[in-house]
Structure 1
Amino acid sequence: MRQPKSVWAVAFACVIAFMGIGLVDPILPAISHDLKATPSQVELLFTSYMLVTGVAMLITGWVSSRIGPKRTLLGGLLLIVVFSALAGTAGGVNGVIGFRAGWGLGNALFIATALAVIVGAASGGVAGAIILYEAALGVGIAVGPLLGGLLGGISWRGPFFGVAVLMAIAFVAVITLLPKSPKPTHHTSVIDPIKALRHRGLLTTALTALFYNYGFFTLLAWTPFPLDLSAHQLGLVFFGWGLCLAITSVFVAPRLQARFGTVHTLYAVQGLIAVTLVVMGVWTHSKPTLIVAVIVAGLFLGINNTLITETVMKVSPVERPVASAAYSFVRFIGGAIAPFLAGKLGENISPNLPFYVGAGCVAVGIMVLASGHKFLRAVDEPAAAATDPADAGRLLVAVDATPDSAAVVRHAARVAVERKLAVHLLHVRETEVVGDTAMDLESEADAQSLLASRLADLRAAGATADGEIAGSTGTHPEVARLILDRAARLSAPAIVIGSSSHDGLSALLGGSVVAEVSRHSGRPVLVIDRESDRLDAVG
């Protein structure tokens, strides 16, 4: 809660932006009725939005690396304000479709930079800023359908005008409160994301997401028509869906990943999504069945969104923003095709058929994932470290990028000198994954600089030391596994770690790193208390 006003302004904008996906669900039947449009025509509201968002992902890195994240963010906000307002004034379905495409462009610019901006503006701790972003994601996804149903009960134009007003408020708040961002020093090429898809692991995961997204957006875009409920009722149904999605993506996915592994969990949860779509196809004319299936599907979709994004970040050999752009470009194609094709199949053949086709596409995605299994085996394995037998018996010291790492090294040096132990310094460079968004919390250059500085501190204190940088997607169990793996490889007599490594409220998202290391280390764990600068033995 100790964040500056600029962080709260961006978080508010995030809530409104994340409403965009589910906002139109409750008003699709009303638009179809009032504008005399077929279901497939109305479904183009999703298609235009998703297609433009996906293609625009290829240029967001190019834009942001030249004009800076703040201007990119504000540009996205302004486009959403303009095009959502224009969509509300449209006199025909083609106008709404076109203006939703412009909204998609603004959405791409916004979501590509929002996480980086909110973390960069944080002064109350990076972990706290990320929790605010996660909360904004959850609230936006859940409340979007609710707001759409509430305003859509008055007029289908209401949700579009409502978003325009709220986002205009957010635009004023961000431009007023957010400090000017530094000019980028590294420029990204437009073709970098396309080149990245030559990597088999990244391409396999992206194609899996394409087929999965087909099923996802079949459920999201087609279900309102066979449900045949009022805007208010549809809003409540998809509110339940969004709430389940938000909860599992943040709280459940990391725990399942730690228990069963990323890839195995993906197989299971995508199988459950396919089964859910089959159930919806069999009982399309049963409203209670469809309602329950939509809400339950949100549980599976949230888990899948988080874990498949983490998989992309782990298998990709390129920079995180480039990998994210490439992956998003491919997966949004599935989200763009599904609504229109589902509408055509539903109105011309059978209302059951879109769900069966969606289930089939998810099943194809599972087979695609399995075809690249040899490229994905390393996803749940800690990165191998080149250890020399002569290095055995070194004290393992794990540090993060916080200022507390200096205290960790100071105490570790004292222990090493007193016990005549050499030190192996491990710095975990983290990539934060929130839903289907990812960003590096630390650049490679900053990580190298921190490692060199802390090694110099150790050597200046008289300790013999070497070190390494390991990559992680930032989940607490994974960071703990990296530390434990290094300790085992080195036959470390003890582990030294700081209590600032993912404790407090952030531990709710997957368990404290210190607790995980202490529970499974099988060796003493020396913890530096960040408040008292005291060394405590906890294991």
Structure 2
Amino acid sequence: MATQRKPVPSVTIAEEPGILRQPRSVWAVFFACIIAFMGLGLVDPILPAIAKQLDASPSEVTLLFTSYNAVMAVAMLVTGVITSRIGMKRTLLSGIVIIAVFSALGGLSSGIWELVALRGGWGLGNALFVATALTAIVTLSNSGNAKAIILYEAAIGLGISVGPLIGGWLGAISWRGPFLGVATLMVIAFIGLTTLMPKSRSVQPVKKKSSLLDPFRALKHRSLLVLGITAALYNFGFFTLLAYSPFVLGLGEHGLGFVFLGWGVLLAITSVFMAPKLQRLFGTVGSMCLMLLLFALVLLAMGIWTSTQWVVIASVIVAGALLGNNNTLITTAVMNASPVERSTASAAYSFLRFLGGALAPFLAGQLAEHFNSSVPFYVGAVCVFVSVIYVWMNQAHIRHVDQAEAH
């Protein structure tokens, strides 16, 4: 007599929610990120106008990026300490308030050095917001680290892409317009976060208070240190392009707005749709090296053909695609690089990242004044190319990020 087999119970595998199926708190932070990163693009089309109307040299105007990034770099070291004491939501709101106040004061300033100082205050607010926003989206998201990071990079891309268009339009009226525009948008972001984001303790209960030494301890992990130094070199090229190219394009506020609109649109699209495909094809580390190498070649082309307007315009726009891919790739790598908490890893990495962004703008202006307008792009290309060599030499320390991503 044949024994009757018992039916094997079916196993239901829970599918990871899609990138668009997020809690409303994630969307609140997402839209606040868009508005916050509009501030970066809003200012770019008005750099030549500021130089002209405030009787400042290009190297003095590029200090608007140097003070901003330098303060951001240092402030990143204390974001974890602040967040662990007042909570994620209050830290985000504090950052927004600081940005609104200093951008409004910048719009009312009367001299380049006053504006440079106020821009540094803006960087403090941005540090509190940016470092915490990434952690907030990753923590609140229900679709996994990779998709949460893509969502964060998409918000950055959208903010940066829309910012120049608005900045060009407001800047054509007055260079003060974009500064005052940022302050207004920050008020909207503050209202959105206040009403839609849950209380800090319901977002992420604080287990222990962070120390000022935590980011430095995190950098003892070789993988995080390698990615931080790579980002510093890469950001040298990034901010050379962002801060100095407006001075060689020879365009007005509207023209610069449209060029950087194209740059930002490609940055946003590639960060969401192309970066994940590159990860699957070549891995995170391999894709990152490819994007960095191509970006170095773009900067080299800008140096060779600096006086050919269409080449510089095309190079800026194409660079947006490369930067969008690389931003998502390197941020994903950082989140999977070390066993330290996400907020601490982000603070340590961002400290090194923005140091590179602080040095590049001022040095670009100085190199152009002492040599010629091609040299800043050559130096930026060399720095980005060195980052590729550095990653390749240290791939044994960061190879595991691909396994973590696959898992």
Pairing 1:200–2:222 present = yes
How far off is 1:309 after superposition? 2.0
CA shift in 2, pair 1:34/1:193, >3 Å: same
Query: 1:230 pairs with 252, 263, 276, which one?
Result: 252
Q: What amino acid maps onto 1:342 in structure 2?
A: A
1:150 aligns with 2:160: no
Indicate which of 295, 299, 306 corresponds to 1:273.
295
SS at match of 1:23: helix
Q: Choose between structure 1 and 2: higher helix proportion.
A: 2
1:221 matches 2:243: yes
Superposed CA deviations along residues 369-423 of structure 1, whole A, max 9, x for unmatched, are: 122122123333x3xxxxxxxxxxxxxxxxxxxxxxxxxxxxxxxxxxxxxxxxx
| CA–CA separation in structure 1 for the residues paired with 2:137 and 2:356 | 29
Q: 2:102 pairs with 79, 83, 87, which one?
A: 83
Find the partner of 1:36 among 47, 55, 70.
55
Q: 1:258 aligns with which of 280, 285, 295?
A: 280
Distance 1:48 1:312, change over 3 A: same
CA offsets per residue over residues 197-233 of structure 1, 9 Å max, x none?
1222221221111111101110111100011210111
Give the CA deviation at 1:269: 1.4
1:135/1:208 Cα in 2 relative to 1: closer, same or farther (>3 Å)?
A: closer
Q: Kindly indicate whether residue 348 of structure 2 is the aligned counterpart of residue 290 of structure 1.
A: no
CA distances 1:347-368 after superposition (whole Å, capped 9, x unpaired): 2210011000100111111121
CA-to-aligned-CA distance 1:292-323 (integer Å, 9 cap, x gap): 00000111111111112222233323222211
The residue type equivalent to 1:331 in the other structure is: R
Q: Distance in 2 between matches of 1:290 and 1:263?
A: 28
Is contact 2:149–2:331 with CA below 8 Å preserved after alignment? Answer: no
CA distance in structure 1 between the aligned counterparts of 2:79 and 2:139, rounded to whole angstroms: 18
Post-superposition shift, 1:247? 1.1
Unaligned runs of 5+ in 2: 1-19
Residues 79, 103 of structure 1: 8 Å contact kept: yes
Structure with larger Rg: 1
The TM-score normalised by the length of structure 1 is: 0.68
Letter in structure 2 aligned against 1:181:
S
1:274 and 1:176 mapped to 2: Cα distance? 44
Q: Partners of 2:289 and 2:150 in 1: how far apart?
A: 28
Percent identity, please: 58
| Contact preservation (8 Å) 1:7, 1:129 | no
Q: How does 1:87-486 map to 2 (within 5 A)?
A: 87-117=106-136, 133=152, 135-182=154-201, 184-380=206-402, 382=403, 472-473=404-405, 478=406, 482=407
Q: Which of residues 12, 27, 41 is equivalent to 1:22?
A: 41
1:136-195 Cα offsets, whole Å, 9 max, x none, are 333212111111111111111000001101111221332244332215232211111112
Is there any run of 5+ residues in structure 1 with no aligned partner, and where?
Answer: 383-471, 483-539
Q: Is the 8 A contact 2:87 2:206 kept in 1?
A: yes
Residues of 1 paired with 2:287 and 2:149: CA distance?
24
- One-letter code aligned to 2:214: D
Partner amino acid, structure 1, of 2:72: T
- What is the Cα deviation at residue 335 of structure 1? 0.5
Q: Which AA in structure 1 matches 2:260?
A: F
Q: 1:195 and 1:203 mapped to 2: Cα distance?
A: 10
Q: 1:102: Cα distance to partner?
A: 0.7
**2:65 paired residue number:** 46
Q: Assess, with a 3 A threshold, how the Cα gap between structure 1 residues 120 and 208 changes in structure 2: closer, same or farther.
A: closer
Deviations 1:44-78 (A, max 9, x none): 00011111111111111110011101110110010
Distance in 2, matches of 1:13 and 1:95, equals 27
Q: Partner residue of 1:528?
A: none
Aligned residues: 383
Structure 2 residue 86 is matched with structure 1 residue 67:
yes
Structure 1, 216-225 or 127-136: larger mean CA deviation: 127-136
Alpha carbon RMSD of aligned pairs, Å? 2.1
Aligned-pair distance for 1:8? Answer: 4.6
Contact kept in structure 1, 2:171 and 2:253, CA below 8 Å: yes
Instruction: State the SS of the aligned residue for 1:189.
Output: coil
* Secondary structure, aligned partner of 1:232: helix
Stretch moving more, 269-278 or 18-27: 18-27
- Counterpart secondary structure, 1:90: coil
Distance 2:289 2:149 in 1: 28
Report which stretch shifted further, 255-264 or 171-180.
Answer: 171-180
Change (3 A) 1:206 1:154: same
